Chain A
């Protein structure tokens, strides 16, 4: 379920590093918690992102969630498909519904984040808390 070459944050974002660049999205767990996505607010190309700072929001009918950047970097592309079909986030959160591509401030920064196994353990713990 969770791609092994991605890295994950506690706020349920993923990042796939590709040399000097990275692709960022939200995880399947996150989209499931949000429910049907109706709107995505994304930063402009060229925006400077700081680690752990919000760079956009994802809206469902009854809730708004901020998206936090896993790394520092500069936005080089945003996923235009999400403008017309935000529901893609629910259907393909790890693939076609990537949010932004960034030029990484430090290509090694993402390595310190959770890997797939650690993230899966993390969300298993979260699920237990919710049903308690």
Chain B
């Protein structure tokens, strides 16, 4: 077997040298009745070409050749081939967590750069070395707010990604955290009028996402004020990180939980992605996850180490800030390389292209009779349209045209049937936007 560097004679010699007659002797500590006699019921071993064949066959059974207008938390953006050329280096790909700092400075330096980039992007003071993704980062941010304030209720906007809210609920219900959902206004932003004084005074945090699931940008300074006035924190999630190229960063928030998938990470049917938590310096000891810190060696040379480890599970065990151990280090590296390539001007230009494409798409689609934008708030690269007929039906027809249509909000919001969440990015060609508009127009013209 090509992954096993032993010859049969070497195995025999090694067994002999340790005084074992056969390999079975080394498994005698397993009670006999539990030792398998027959081989496992697995498909026969495949050679490398056969493995590739299997996966190519699977790849052909998906959406190759289709144009997608889906966003809803996962975004299609440009990636440079330079990124893969670098992360496929064995020294990055096959290295371990940098606990032994002396020869893990490559990883640690890159983590330090990642932490810095996340601070620069979000306007926060400190960021960690990654969480699993946006949904779990937001959940951990809520737990952090609970620890900091000592309060056990959170006010969560319904316009936060439904799957993020579901994860939060799954964790929260075992920890005695009460979730109160706050509705949205006509703008699509959180309805501030629905924030009750009594709720705020018991709340650890107001939790929003910006741009939110409807693509609308929240008014964070006002929300921060409302939260702080009652001793609560503002926790802000970000699912579309490219927005930070032109949208005002959430520096008013106390804790930011971001999904970094937009930074050079393929959609890959849901993961791996990279989450990050960024916050104020004063909350650093309540942060979950790893942190890389700068220091010096005996000769005064700059180097980096994992630090403030007493927050983490391997030291604090049941009193840890989180149970997280393995994170998304390689994908934090992907984001770091990607952002280094894109740079200050590149990210800004990319964000502007997204904005331009979205405005163009919106204009084209609103020309269709019966189709109009709902939610008046400012939006980035996603917006919600009302259709005169079922979005699911329209999407079914669009599939025939090899178009994956916009997300049907009715899936998660029973009051928002016939509402479609359209996403366009810098990768959506103009011709495809026009084709989408033409296809929808045709579908809606058909008799019911």
Contact = CB atoms under 8 A, between A and B. Distances in A.
Interface of A: 39, 59, 61-64
B175 interface: no
Interface stretch (B162-170, B204-212, B309-317): B309-317
A63 B309 CA distance: 9
Interface string B306-348: 0001100001100100000000000000000000000000000
B431 to A, nearest CB: 59
10 contacts: A39-B310, A59-B310, A61-B309, A62-B310, A63-B310, A63-B315, A64-B310, A64-B315, A64-B316, A64-B319
Contacts of A62: 309-310, 315
Contacts of B309: 61-62
Interface of B: 285, 309-310, 315-316, 319
A59 B310 CA distance: 7
Prevailing SS type, chain B contact patch: helix
Nearest to B316: A64
B188 to A, nearest CB: 42
Give me the 3 closest cross-chain CB pairs, A-B, nearest first. Answer: A59-B310, A64-B310, A64-B316
Contacts, number: 14
A63 B310 CA distance: 6
A80 B316 CA distance: 25
B349 to A, nearest CB: 43
Nearest to A57: B310
Contacts of B315: 62-64
B448 to A, nearest CB: 67
Nearest to B319: A64
B98 to A, nearest CB: 15
A28 to B, nearest CB: 22
A47 to B, nearest CB: 13
Contacts of A61: 309-310
Contacts of A64: 310, 315-316, 319
A61 B319 CA distance: 16
A58 to B, nearest CB: 10
B318 to A, nearest CB: 12
A26 B316 CA distance: 21
Nearest to A41: B285
A17 B216 CA distance: 62
Nearest to A63: B315
A61 B308 CA distance: 7
Contacts of A39: 285, 310
Nearest to B305: A61
Nearest to A59: B310
Contacts of B319: 64
Interface centre among A39, A62, A64 (most CB of B within 10 A): A64
A62 B305 CA distance: 13
Interface centre among B285, B310, B316 (most CB of A within 10 A): B310
Nearest to B317: A64
A93 B285 CA distance: 24
A117 to B, nearest CB: 34
A8 B440 CA distance: 81
A61 B314 CA distance: 12
B174 to A, nearest CB: 25
